C-alpha cells in the first residue's frame, strides 16, 4: 500500500524563541513515515528568524523542513505561500500554527478518514489553558447527530449544512485541518483579514470546491500561547475596531457569496447589525475615556457597511429590552 505524501504548512511570526521547536517536535512524534512527510515553514517577516529557530532551538529530528521567507503579510498570505511551494506528488496538506502542538495520532487518523473518500478532516482540540476539550465546552456539535465511520465512535462524517455551521457556530480549527490536495488544492485563503475571518472564508472556499468533511471527537491539538488576533482583540482593546472590520467583511462575504439557507442569511444579517452597534459603542467608550480612536478603521467600516434596516430594528429591540428591565 502506498503511503500518501503529506505537507505540513506552518505560518511563522514570533517574538519569543523556542516556540517553533515544540511544534516541529510534535510533528516528528507523529506515527507517520518521515520519508512521506515534509514541513514548509513560511517565515512571515518574523522578528525571531525561523531558520535560526530550527538551527538553535529545535530538538534533533529527521524531519525534512523547508523555510520560505516573505515580507510580513499575515498568516493567510503565509499559508497561501506554503500552498504555492508544495512538492510534486503531495497528496494531503496539513496545517499547524507555530505555537500549537499535535497530540495523539493526528496524521494517521486523518489519512485513515481521507482514504474513505472524504476530502477535509478536522479534529477536536484543547485551547490554551483548558482541561476540557472544545467540543465538550462549546457544544457546537453533537457527534451522535453525525454518522460513525467504521467501528470507531470517535470518527464521524459531518452531515448537515456546513456553511450554516461555520457562519453560526464554527467547529473547524486551523491547526487540526488536513485536506486532500488533489481535490481541494486550488482553494486559497483571502487577502487581508489579519484580525479574523480569513480561515472561515478558506473553509467556505473548500466547500465551493466540493469538500466532504469528516471529523474526530478526540482532541488532537493543544493550542499554545501565540498571538491570536481574534481572541486578543476583545472589548476595550485597541484592536477591537479592526476585529469588527474584518468580522463584518467575513460575514458580509458569506452572506453575498455562500449562504443560501434563509436561517443562515437571517443569522448573518442579525450579526452584522450587532457589529454596527458594537462599533458605535467602541467609539463612545474610547471617547469617554479619552483613548485614541482608530478613525481609519471606523472610516473603512462605515464605507463597507452603510446603515441598514436590520441595524435600526436591532437598536429598537435593544431599547425595548432595556426599558423592560
Query: What does DSSP say about strands 64-70 and 37-44: parallel, antiparallel, or unpaired?
Result: parallel
Question: Cell numbers at residue 71, please?
Answer: 515580507
- Digit-coded pLDDT (tens) for 294-306: 999 899 889 988 8
- Digit-coded pLDDT (tens) for 93-132: 999 999 999 999 999 999 999 999 999 999 999 998 899 9
Mean pLDDT over 127-153 rounds to 95
Confidence of residue 57 (pLDDT cuts 50, 70, 90): confident
- Digit-coded pLDDT (tens) for 11-39: 999 988 889 999 999 999 999 999 999 99
Which of 235 and 250 is assigned the larger pLDDT?
250
Q: What φ, ψ does residue 70 adopt, rounded to 5°?
A: -150, 160
Q: Which CA distances in Å does 273 have to 155, 297, 310?
A: 37, 17, 6
Same domain, 68 and 163: yes
Same domain, 153 and 264: no
Predicted pLDDT of residue 230? 43
76 in Cβ contact with 188 (< 8 Å): no
Confidence of residue 311 (pLDDT cuts 50, 70, 90): low
Predicted pLDDT of residue 319? 53
| Domain coverage including residue 289 | 240-324
Same domain, 99 and 148: yes
Strand partners, 213: 120
Same domain, 213 and 159: yes
Confidence of residue 318 (pLDDT cuts 50, 70, 90): low
Same domain, 263 and 125: no
217 in Cβ contact with 139 (< 8 Å): no
- Domain annotation covers residue 229: no
Q: What pTM did the predictor assign?
A: 0.90
The domain boundary, picked from 171, 196, 222, lies at 222
How many CB atoms are closer than 10 A to CB 56? 11
Predicted pLDDT of residue 235? 64
Cβ burial 115-125 (10 Å sphere, 16+ → b, else e): eeebbbbbbbb
Predicted pLDDT of residue 40? 98
Confidence of residue 193 (pLDDT cuts 50, 70, 90): low
Predicted pLDDT of residue 103? 96
Q: Which CA distances in Å does 46 have to 12, 99, 113, 140?
A: 7, 13, 35, 34
- Domain annotation covers residue 286: yes
- Domain annotation covers residue 233: no
- Domain annotation covers residue 172: yes
Amino acid at each position: 500500500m502506498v503511503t500518501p505524501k503529506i505537507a505540513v504548512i506552518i505560518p511563522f511570526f514570533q517574538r519569543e524563541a523556542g516556540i517553533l521547536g515544540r511544534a516541529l517536535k510534535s510533528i516528528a512524534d507523529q506515527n507517520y513515515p518521515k520519508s512521506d512527510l515534509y514541513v514548509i515553514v513560511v517565515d512571515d517577516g518574523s522578528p525571531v528568524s525561523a531558520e535560526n529557530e530550527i538551527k538553535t532551538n529545535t530538538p534533533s529530528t529527521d524531519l525534512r523542513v523547508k523555510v520560505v521567507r516573505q515580507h510580513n503579510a499575515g498568516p493567510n498570505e503565509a499559508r497561501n505561500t506554503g500552498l504555492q511551494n508544495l512538492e510534486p506528488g503531495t497528496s494531503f496538506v496539513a496545517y499547524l500554527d507555530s505555537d500549537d502542538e499535535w497530540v495523539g495520532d493526528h496524521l494517521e487518523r486523518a489519512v485513515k478518514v481521507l482514504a474513505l473518500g472524504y476530502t477535509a478532516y478536522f479534529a477536536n482540540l484543547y485551547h490554551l489553558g483548558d482541561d476540557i476539550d472544545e467540543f465538550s465546552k462549546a457544544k457546537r456539535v453533537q457527534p451522535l447527530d453525525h454518522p460513525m465511520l467504521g467501528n470507531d465512535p470517535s470518527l464521524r462524517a459531518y452531515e448537515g449544512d456546513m456553511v450554516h455551521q461555520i457562519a453560526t457556530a464554527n467547529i473547524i480549527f486551523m491547526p487540526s485541518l488536513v485536506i486532500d490536495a488533489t481535490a481541494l488544492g486550488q482553494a486559497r485563503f483571502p487577502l487581508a483579514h489579519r484580525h479574523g475571518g480569513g480561515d472561515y472564508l478558506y473553509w467556505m472556499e473548500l466547500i465551493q470546491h466540493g469538500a466532504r468533511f469528516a471529523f474526530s471527537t478526540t482532541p488532537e491539538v493543544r493550542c499554545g500561547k501565540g498571538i491570536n488576533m481574534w481572541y486578543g482583540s476583545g472589548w476595550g482593546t485597541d484592536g477591537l475596531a479592526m476585529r469588527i472590520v474584518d468580522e463584518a467583511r467575513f460575514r458580509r462575504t458569506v452572506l453575498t457569496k455562500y449562504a443560501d439557507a434563509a436561517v443562515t442569511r437571517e443569522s448573518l444579517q442579525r450579526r452584522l447589525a450587532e457589529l454596527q452597534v458594537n462599533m458605535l459603542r467602541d467609539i463612545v467608550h474610547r471617547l469617554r475615556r479619552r483613548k485614541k480612536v482608530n478613525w481609519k478603521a471606523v472610516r473603512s467600516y462605515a464605507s463597507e457597511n452603510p446603515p441598514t434596516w436590520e441595524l435600526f430594528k436591532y437598536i429598537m429591540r435593544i431599547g425595548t429590552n432595556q426599558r423592560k428591565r
